Amino acid sequence: MNGRKREVARRLFAYEFNRSTHKIGGEDERSPVYVLTPTGMRCNRVFVVGVLLDKEETRPDTNFWRIRVSDPTGVFIGYVGRFQPDALETILEVEPPELVAIVAKVRLFEGETRNFASLRPESIAVVDSDVRDYWVCETARLTLERIKQMEERSSEDAELAWQIYNPDLEEYRTIVRQAVQSVVAEYGVVEEAKEKAAREEEKEEIEEIEDIDEFEEEFDFEEEEWDLSDILGE
């Protein structure tokens, strides 16, 4: 409250999320931090629906969990700890693979070579495939709208996204189409979708290992600071 507007939960696919490296705001403690995505969206909070592929305590008995959640375009990485009690409660109970809906704040970690976006869930709920399918369609529609705005260069953020990412919009359009096709093709066949996502995951994991090591080092270093800022800021 305090007259501060609530942040809208933005929709975007993992493919776009994982290519988001630019931070806006956060100069002082009170101003909110946004991640600018390649299609020119500012996000501070997101709503994501996907398959929880695995959960893993970062170190034994820390109650600090790293989760991996897949949508049809890629994998979101998230961190859940004791400062997100609602999300933690679900994570302790749920056994992957399972479809989940996540409301999360977006975090950007500064790596050696580039920045990495990750999720810090506020809440996690187990949902059914109807929710996932609608989310995919909704996210597709909103992403296509942003792509159109990028083409029209109709906002400051679109202009900024061109400067920073110079994205190949056709690539994003293809990803969106594939995502929608995947829910239509597998509509109602949840088990199959889960398995497929899990298989793809294994493949991607191998490719990602290098990045993730770097990512975790950064994370260990700054963890304490974020927890503090959060208590002060919210």
Site of interaction with other proteins (CB under 8 A): 6, 8-11, 47, 49, 86, 100-103, 122-127, 130-131, 133-135, 137-142, 144, 176-177, 180-181, 183-184, 187
Q: Which residue lies nearer to other proteins by CB, 11 or 22?
A: 11
Tell me the two tokens of residue 141.
């529609």
Q: Which residue lies nearer to other proteins by CB, 103 or 164?
A: 103
**Please, how many CA atoms are within 13 Å of residue 196, restricted to the half-sphere of its CB?**
14
- State in angstroms the smallest separation of the CB of 103 from other proteins: 5
Q: Which residue lies nearer to other proteins by CB, 7 or 218?
A: 7
Q: Which residue lies nearer to other proteins by CB, 142 or 198?
A: 142
- State in angstroms the smallest separation of the CB of 137 from other proteins: 5
Ramachandran region of residue 101, left (φ > 0), alpha (ψ -120 to 50) or beta?
beta
Q: Which residue lies nearer to other proteins by CB, 142 or 212?
A: 142
Cα separation of 44 and 144, whole Å? 20
Tell me the two tokens of residue 199.
């298989």
- State in angstroms the smallest separation of the CB of 180 from other proteins: 5
- State in angstroms the smallest separation of the CB of 201 from other proteins: 21
Contact status, residue 125 vs residue 84, Cβ threshold 8 Å: no
- State in angstroms the smallest separation of the CB of 142 from other proteins: 5
Q: What are the DSSP calls for 94-143, one per residue?
A: --SSEEEEEEEEEEEEE-SSSEEEEEEEEEEEE--HHHHHHHHHHHHHHH
